[in-house]
Structure 1
Amino acid sequence: MENLTEAIEEGNIKKISLEKSVLSKTKNQGVTTCQSILYKVLQDEEIEPSDPDSEEVSRSSHLYIWVDEIWDEKLLRSLKCLKVFDIDCLYLDEIGSKNRRLVLNFLQSSFPTRIKDLSFWSSGKMDLERPNYLNSLTRLSSKVVREASFRDFSIGLPQLKRLVAAFRHVRTLVLRNCRLSILSVPDLSKALKNCQIQKIDLLGSGSLIKSDWENNFDEFENLVQGLAGSPDLRLSLEQVDVSNCGVTQNKAEQVFEENQLGGVNIIGGK
């Protein structure tokens, strides 16, 4: 544990609270597993982390990892087989191809057993599937219980189907500033079976430099029609954010109305 603690103490990120750094070994069917708890908490006051043996998640525990920062890179390298205890929110930012191995190792070996919110941010326009991130994310999706957020990724139709299928149980699905390539109407009826998504956040994904829905409005229509193909989503969906997406409020509402989603609250239309 010395190298992990040292990596944190050398870091220059403000307001870091390392509540506990615990290395515990438990034998489960002859396999030794390692667990560590690490919190980067935004609040100044000390916050007691949740019991690692409890199913409850601490209400104020956040772990931020800026993957391209040298100190956070040290942190990831130090974790190795250590598993982060259950926390509220996990933020992985500045994810790119150059740090692919570090991120994949973290997802495979150190991802918590349960978290409320996951934010997965690309360092630029990167295909979500190319570095095998999508495979890892779909495998661990059941551990995310409230919100799944993906930003600045390029997501094609096959990737979109897999993503919504994997995270259909969360309450909020965020696809912000993503390049969504929806050239045809996706069949999401099976992918969204038993869907519980209440809110979809598309902020910036339809902007000029992303999907450009102002000039490719048919792709926005394809997306809405695909979502509406799921009877379960039609029952669960309450709100869609189309801020900075190049579509007007009236046009967005009209498309949703035409696809049996007239009860959905559309916010952010220009």
Structure 2
Amino acid sequence: MERERDEYLWFAAQVLRWIGVDLTEYKRPQMERRLTSLRQRWNCDNWADFFALIRRDPRVYQEFLDKMTINVSEFYRNPGRWEVVGRRLAPRYLKLSRPVRCWSAACSTGEEPYTLAMVLMESGLSPNRFEILATDIDESAMERAKQGIYRTASLEHAPSGTSAKYFEQLGEDRWAIRPIVKQSVRFRRHNLLADPYDHGFDLIVCRNVMIYFTEEAKMRIYPKFRDALAPGGVLFVGSTEPIFQPERFGFRVFDTFFYEKISPSPGR
């Protein structure tokens, strides 16, 4: 067992050097279990063989990324929380004399940033009044997001009328996002644990991702989110990811699972 742990840490170190992703920042039991399952499925007896395989086989490398990033998403996930964006945040944004800047961090296959675009449009903001940066570490997932084609199941929680207004039905089980939704969203690869953060965002949406990180990683990410927000900006997290004592990171509670930046940042 001790040897297995040492081999996993060796594997994590190789991955960090190769693609800049630090597996030790993710909760180890869940991550090691998922990757062990993948390793065994490809008949690799040890972590060294598995690392060699993901380096030479693009299919296995993509499966590795998929296991690591958990690409599970849907439109309007937890609808009541999205209502807060329309009811409490959009009125603020309508008063701005500049475009609203939003960031959908770890956006997976695009349901989240497109949901945000639809919520803002339904609240009276035209597409030229806001811009959404959508980022993820998995470039394959973002390619699917750019295509904007989804199955009916992903629209289960979308409000009545949304499908016809913002999607074009391509078949019995396929829907394409309309260009009016796509035009305000731009996609870019970004590693939350390693890459620099942009600044000046009015809203950052990062949901159902932080639960996979260690507490140490969260302690570094939350202050980076705070600094990336404009004064009065808000961080929107997932329903399993409440921030305890948000004041430690320069936030105050704005609504359930919404945290507003306190200005100035602590210690400044």
- Shared fold per TM-score greater than 0.5: no
Instruction: Specify which structure has the bigger relative contact order, considering alpha-carbon pairs within 8 angstroms and separated by 6 or more residues.
Output: 2
Query: Structure 2 length as normaliser, TM-score?
Result: 0.26
Normalized per residue, which structure has more helix?
2
Normalized per residue, which structure has more strand?
1
Query: Structure 1 length as normaliser, TM-score?
Result: 0.26
